[in-house]
């Protein structure tokens, strides 16, 4: 369904990604792990059209996406929850959510989508008039995820959704992502909670220095001595 084939991304002279390939099958939840600066965010941004990729190809349901503008990629159903949530702090929770349904293709159904988001996150419904900047970290992540859901994703890409959250808040977010996946949404999950992430995904990719160092079934990666040593502290 999503196929990234041999792409390279440069920031000036620096090669942030080198010949990276990755696939997410329909309905699958895949993991993307790797240390700080490995290129995880760059890869999501390249898929979203936020940074240009050179060489190779990115395709989605057989359609070539490389070079498309971010709004076009979003319209195709690929929606990213950015690292650091990136909410509009001076806007209310509800205003932030509605921004997620900005594209004309999803604006029509935004009332139903909003009701659905509030159903998933009752906490956001209680705080709908509160400024996003005054939410707790866990609530901000819910709002960022909710805003992405407003765009009706078929592939949801999450960039470190549990960063800075308490274990309880992180577990809540993971449980909801898992539920969305079980309802049929494809997911690409970037996370440094490696054990947790490999437990809830079927396939994983390990990025190191801008290249895919390892890939395979998540269960196998969890048992891999190199993964254990580098990412699980075992």
Ligand X SMILES: Nc1ncnc2c1ncn2[C@@H]1O[C@H](COP(=O)(O)OP(=O)(O)OP(=O)(O)O)[C@@H](O)[C@H]1O
Minimum CB–partner distance for residue 82 and ligand X (Å): 11
Residues that bind Mg ion (CB under 5 A): 40-41, 83
**What is the spatial distance between Cα 174 and Cα 158, in angstroms, rounded to a whole number?**
11
Residue 11 interacting entry, from Mg ion, ligand X, none, C-beta within 5 to 8 Å by type: ligand X
**What is the spatial distance between Cα 78 and Cα 52, in angstroms, rounded to a whole number?**
16
**Near ligand X by CB under 6 A, which window of 31-39, 93-101, 106-114, 211-219?**
31-39
Residue 38 interacting entry, from Mg ion, ligand X, none, C-beta within 5 to 8 Å by type: ligand X
Q: Residue 227: which H helix or E strand, with range?
A: helix 225-231
Which among 181, 182, 161 is positioned nearest to 170, based on CA atoms?
161
Q: Any residues with CB less than 8 A from the CB of 160 and at least 6 apart, and which?
A: 40, 83, 190, 191, 192
**Near ligand X by CB under 6 A, which window of 11-19, 63-71, 124-132, 222-230?**
11-19
H helix count then E strand count, the chain: 11, 10
Q: Does 39 bind ligand X (CB under 6 A)?
A: yes
Q: Does 38 bind ligand X (CB under 6 A)?
A: yes
What's the burial of 83, exposed, middle or buried (CB within 10 Å: 0-12/13-18/19+)?
Answer: middle
Among 24, 29, 42, 162, binds ligand X (CB under 6 A): 42
Among 28, 30, 34, 143, binds ligand X (CB under 6 A): 34
- Residue 196 vs residues 54, 98, 160, 173, 189: alpha-carbon distances, Å: 33, 31, 12, 12, 11
CB closer to ligand X, 78 vs 97: 78
Written as six digits, the tokens of 162 are 């549990």
Minimum CB–partner distance for residue 16 and Mg ion (Å): 11
Minimum CB–partner distance for residue 92 and ligand X (Å): 28
Site string for ligand X, 75-114 (x = CB under 6 A): --------x-------------------------------
């Amino acid at each position: 369904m999503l196929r990234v084939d041999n792409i390279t991304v440069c920031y000036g002279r620096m090669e942030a990604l080198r010949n990276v390939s990755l696939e997410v099958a329909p309905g699958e939840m895949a993991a993307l792990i790797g240390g700080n600066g490995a290129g995880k965010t760059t890869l999501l941004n390249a898929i979203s059209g936020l940074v240009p990729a050179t060489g190779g190809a990115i395709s989605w349901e057989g359609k070539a996406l490389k070079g498309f503008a971010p709004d076009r990629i979003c319209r195709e159903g690929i929606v990213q929850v950015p690292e650091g949530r990136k909410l509009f702090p001076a806007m209310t929770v509800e205003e932030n959510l509605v921004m997620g349904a900005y594209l004309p293709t999803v604006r029509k159904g935004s009332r139903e989508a909003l009701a659905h988001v509030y159903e998933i996150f009752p906490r956001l419904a209680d705080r709908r008039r509160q400024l996003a900047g005054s939410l707790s970290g866990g609530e901000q992540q819910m709002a960022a995820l909710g805003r992405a859901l407003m765009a009706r994703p078929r592939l949801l890409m999450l960039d470190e959704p549990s960063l800075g959250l308490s274990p309880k808040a992180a577990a809540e977010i993971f449980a909801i992502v898992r539920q969305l996946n079980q309802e049929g949404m494809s997911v690409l999950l970037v996370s440094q909670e490696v054990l947790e992430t490999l437990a809830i995904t079927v396939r994983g990719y390990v990025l190191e220095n801008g290249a895919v160092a390892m890939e395979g079934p998540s269960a196998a990666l969890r048992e891999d001595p190199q993964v254990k040593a580098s990412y699980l502290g075992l």
